[in-house]
Structure 1
Amino acid sequence: MTTIHTRIQDAVIPDDDDVVLAVDRVSKKFCRDLHRSLLYGVQDITSDLLGGRRHTEKLRSGEFWALNNVSFQLRRGEALGLVGANGAGKSTLLRIISGLIKPDTGSVMVEGRVAPLIALGAGFNPILTGRENIYANMSILGLSTREIKRRFDDVVDFAEIWDAIDAPVQSYSSGMAARLGFACAVHIEPDVLLIDEVLSVGDVKFKVKCHQRLGQLRENGTAFVLVSHNPHSVLNVCNTSVYLAKGRLLAAGETESIIRQYEEDLCLSGTEMATGRLVLPAKPPGESTGVDITALCFKDEQGDLLTAPATGEPAFLSIECNVCEPVEAANVSCQITALAGEYDKVLYLTTASDNEFIHLPSGHVEIQMQMPYLGLKPGVYSAKISVRQGVRSFDIVKSFRFTVKASKNVSRCLFYQPRSWKTIHHSASFKSH
């Protein structure tokens, strides 16, 4: 089955038979003012009814480009990642591909059946039962009644809702509705699957089942478009990626290089990254608690400033302080959070947990956390630094943003693992057990 929607102007039809999705010069504009948006909608409908020509390529007062001249192709069995900050146009692009909205210029060609996993269970009627919603939902996605009957048991088995299949969906928990929505979408065996952050819902068991099913679909030739703010998910799933920013396509290509560019752009928006050193303003008289953090940075083994430390290379975190009076048994803590993905806490280190309470003499003091190698994978991070003594808190810096760059091929790993390789020669009489 071939579905071609929203063919506008002179679209380019790909010659490659393996291409299942072709997005050609697609643009979409919106208006932030509700009343003006309604007026423009009436004008556009009137123009269509009278056979007039819309000037879709031009912005009217109050409008902005949510997408602007975006093009790419997706082949059978490929997985494409869409990355970018909030408001980049990722969800708008998925809605256009799925046919929910039309672009103002350009075209989208889809070869086969599309299944959007954009909001699991969002299309269910809460008054209807799970059984009735399966038939309604899967028929909308393109299946005949005979095909739905043939796959019905598999859908309910996957969703694990036999006990509630004849109860109204409004009585389902959010997890049950999510499982049912995912089961309906993946069991139509689509040619193109659109996934927008939905894999972050559900319990661990459900997530494992989802990934296993997606793997089976891809082996059978289903192509994926994945939107996720978790770079590790995109790296593990997608061969190639597209980087969007404010509606424009900034870069497209191999996923690892696209993710690296995206994360470095995120970090460079911080002013402290211009020099790699965060200098904190002096505290007004009377606000000091005795120890004030004045600067944060990374240094190499020679004591030179590191603008961005590298995975697997030596890095010394430098914490400069002004100390009014000597402090015995100070406890310095460092909590590191990944800014990409779900803002996961990846490291929490303290001198107390290492049984190394620090003596701080009066004057200007530099505290170093010396790492013989940096175990963080390439990405963008924020460090929260504090200096305490028992229950007393001297000073705290809530966010020191920094980028970890790649010096080795570890972008697909969760962390850098130090290692060595060795060959052991066993005698002929050696037997393995």
Structure 2
Amino acid sequence: MEKILFETRQLSKRFCRDPKLALRYTIQDISWEFRRKSAGENFLRQGEFWSVYDVNLQLKAGEVLGLIGANGAGKSTLINLIMGILRPTVGEVIWHTNQVVMMDNQSGLNAVQTGRENIYNKLSMYGVSEQKIKKNIHEVIDYSGIQTFIDAPVGTYSVGMRLRLAFSIYTQLQPDVFIIDEALGGGDIRFQQKFQTYLRDYIKQGGAILLVSHEMFQIQSLCHRVVLLNQGQVLDTGKPDEIIHAYNELMEIEENSSSPVPLTIETEQSSESTNENLIPKEKFSSVEIEQVQVIALDGEEITPGSKVQFRIICNSQIDNCPILIGCSLGQGELFPMAIMSGKHGENYYQLKRGRNEFCFLVHQLPLLPGKYQIRVTIVENSSYDIIGRKGYEQTPYSFEVKGFNNIGLNFARADKCLFHIPVECD
């Protein structure tokens, strides 16, 4: 039977929006504590609301539990309750280990101290001996990649540099539970990939992770189970694919209708298949995307409704790797306004070592005349790790859709529409 590392039972926390009432309620709650009541008060007073209500969770050894939800859903409050930073109104958190490390987007470092001083203090706080710190400090510094700035105050670091230093410090620890609150979204893509590789090794060794993130690739890549939190309550729990789908549906309902909804373009692809999969640990940048072409197949120029081929040419350092390819189309600040996703699941592209060429076929391009940009991401099929991308840190590839004499398109363009939908009149 898998060991349970922590569990929450009917965990609830209420807050008050009115500062004057909040002060009065705080005094009442302190009095309640002195009376040694065994349970909290499971009701709301005037001006109060439940930030977290009746949450029951378990985290087992070797498991990654994801926690997702919109801003204000109660994720940070729940983490603070689990870590003992906040005291629950009702319910309890039961820990079966005291080997716990938490990493948030503030990295937990002292801004006044230097990077070197933070290494000593953090590792000492987690019980690492001074002798071992002295022995391993150069390894920590080299791993962080910020050797030049290690003796500068951490307050002068960028967010990415702080996270890289914190990550390097935590690699020296082997806690039973790692709680990560929005810390994988900072830093560059190399940092994110490096940290995820470390976390996978950590999970294989029996570690457990509670991961809070808005990055769905990370949730899908790392998590075994996912919890969807909404208005402080657990809305659903299950496999990553199912819960991410439920989360997206929830966001569609709640988001402002004035925001454009990305268009999914049906594509046809062609590539060879094989079952082998040999991928190095450092996956990111294993594939260099050299060129992206958009080619009109029914004329010299791309026009609205054209049959076009999207061709991606890349050079790979890895062999026999199943992948999927995603392309995002945008225009100026409107990005992405359309998404094309290649093969996935059992129907995938096969990457070989050396030069590769992959093609998408779009029978009728549903874009109005104008200039467009395209970004490309190549993802390992089973783990969803990003192994190559182009157009994010660099300038996106661009192409132009030419216009022609069509009154419907002219109306659509004059009204600054995104798409023109042709109709057949009865």
**TM exceeding 0.5:** yes
CA change 1:136–1:271 in 2 (3 A) is closer
1:152 counterpart SS class: helix
Q: What is the CA distance between 1:133 and its match in structure 2?
A: 1.9
Is this contact kept in 1: 2:304–2:367, CA < 8 A? no
Q: What count of residue pairs does the alignment treat as equivalent? A: 307
Is this contact kept in 1: 2:105–2:186, CA < 8 A? no
2:72 counterpart SS class: coil
Q: What is the CA distance between 1:136 and its match in structure 2?
A: 2.4
Map of 1:241-252 to 2, 5 A cutoff?
241-252=226-237
**Which of 230, 233, 237 in structure 1 is aligned with 2:218?**
233
CA change 1:354–1:124 in 2 (3 A) is closer
**Where does residue 80 of structure 1 map in the other structure?**
65
Once the two structures are superposed, residues 124-169 of structure 1 have per-residue CA deviations (whole angstroms, 9 ceiling, x without a partner) of: 3333232322232234445454554454343223223344333332
**Where does residue 74 of structure 2 map in the other structure?**
89
Q: What is the CA distance between 1:27 and its match in structure 2?
A: 0.8
Task: Output the CA distance in 2 between the equivalents of 1:345 and 1:126.
Answer: 40
Range with bigger deviation, 194-203 or 166-175: 166-175
- Letter of the aligned partner of 1:247 in structure 2? G
- Letter of the aligned partner of 1:101 in structure 2? L
Is this contact kept in 1: 2:103–2:183, CA < 8 A? yes
Task: Output the CA distance in 1 between the equivalents of 2:419 and 2:65.
Answer: 33
- Letter of the aligned partner of 1:29 in structure 2? R
Is this contact kept in 2: 1:24–1:108, CA < 8 A? yes
**Where does residue 53 of structure 2 map in the other structure?**
68
Q: Which one has a bigger Cα radius of gyration?
A: 1
Is this contact kept in 1: 2:5–2:95, CA < 8 A? yes
**Where does residue 357 of structure 1 map in the other structure?**
403
TM-score (norm 2): 0.61
Task: Output the CA distance in 2 between the equivalents of 1:129 and 1:58.
Answer: 47
Is this contact kept in 2: 1:31–1:62, CA < 8 A? yes
Q: What is the CA distance between 1:268 and its match in structure 2?
A: 3.4
1:108 counterpart SS class: strand
Task: Output the CA distance in 2 between the equivalents of 1:205 and 1:396.
Answer: 38
CA change 1:174–1:264 in 2 (3 A) is closer
1:243 counterpart SS class: strand
TM-score (norm 1): 0.60
**Where does residue 132 of structure 1 map in the other structure?**
117
Is this contact kept in 2: 1:20–1:76, CA < 8 A? yes
Is this contact kept in 2: 1:24–1:107, CA < 8 A? yes
Q: What is the CA distance between 1:330 and its match in structure 2?
A: 9.2
1:198 counterpart SS class: coil
Is this contact kept in 2: 1:98–1:115, CA < 8 A? no
Task: Output the CA distance in 1 between the equivalents of 2:110 and 2:243.
Answer: 40
**Where does residue 114 of structure 1 map in the other structure?**
100
Is this contact kept in 1: 2:367–2:401, CA < 8 A? no
CA change 1:110–1:359 in 2 (3 A) is farther
Task: Output the CA distance in 2 between the equivalents of 1:227 and 1:386.
Answer: 45
Task: Output the CA distance in 2 between the equivalents of 1:311 and 1:91.
Answer: 38
1:80 counterpart SS class: strand
**Where does residue 416 of structure 2 map in the other structure?**
396
**Where does residue 252 of structure 2 map in the other structure?**
267
Once the two structures are superposed, residues 199-255 of structure 1 have per-residue CA deviations (whole angstroms, 9 ceiling, x without a partner) of: 121123322221221122112111111222222221111111111110111111111
2:10 counterpart SS class: strand
1:200 counterpart SS class: coil
Is this contact kept in 1: 2:185–2:213, CA < 8 A? no
Q: What is the CA distance between 1:185 and its match in structure 2?
A: 3.0
1:175 counterpart SS class: helix
2:192 counterpart SS class: helix
Q: Is 1:42 aligned to 2:62, yes or no?
A: no
Q: What is the CA distance between 1:40 and its match in structure 2?
A: 2.4
Task: Output the CA distance in 2 between the equivalents of 1:51 and 1:135.
Answer: 40
Is this contact kept in 1: 2:159–2:186, CA < 8 A? no
- Letter of the aligned partner of 2:120 in structure 1? Y
Map of 1:142-153 to 2, 5 A cutoff?
143=128, 145=130, 148-149=133-134, 151-153=136-138
Q: Is 1:179 aligned to 2:164, yes or no?
A: yes
Is this contact kept in 1: 2:265–2:338, CA < 8 A? no
CA change 1:270–1:50 in 2 (3 A) is closer
Task: Output the CA distance in 2 between the equivalents of 1:207 and 1:62.
Answer: 41
**Which of 86, 101, 115 in structure 2 is aligned with 1:101?**
86
Q: Is 1:22 aligned to 2:7, yes or no?
A: yes
- Letter of the aligned partner of 1:360 in structure 2? N
- Letter of the aligned partner of 1:395 in structure 2? D
**Where does residue 340 of structure 1 map in the other structure?**
none
1:199 counterpart SS class: coil
Q: Is 1:196 aligned to 2:242, yes or no?
A: no
Task: Output the CA distance in 2 between the equivalents of 1:297 and 1:42.
Answer: 48
In angstroms, what is the RMSD of aligned CA positions?
3.9
- Letter of the aligned partner of 1:193 in structure 2? F
Once the two structures are superposed, residues 277-298 of structure 1 have per-residue CA deviations (whole angstroms, 9 ceiling, x without a partner) of: x9xxxxxxxxxxxxxxxxx999
Is this contact kept in 1: 2:261–2:337, CA < 8 A? no
Q: Is 1:156 aligned to 2:141, yes or no?
A: yes
Long gaps (5+) in structure 1: 1-15, 273-277, 279-295, 299-307, 314-328, 338-342, 368-384, 389-393, 401-433
**Where does residue 214 of structure 1 map in the other structure?**
199
Task: Output the CA distance in 2 between the equivalents of 1:196 and 1:358.
Answer: 51
Task: Output the CA distance in 1 between the equivalents of 2:78 and 2:48.
Answer: 17
- Letter of the aligned partner of 2:101 in structure 1? A
- Letter of the aligned partner of 1:117 in structure 2? M
**Where does residue 379 of structure 1 map in the other structure?**
none
1:73 counterpart SS class: strand
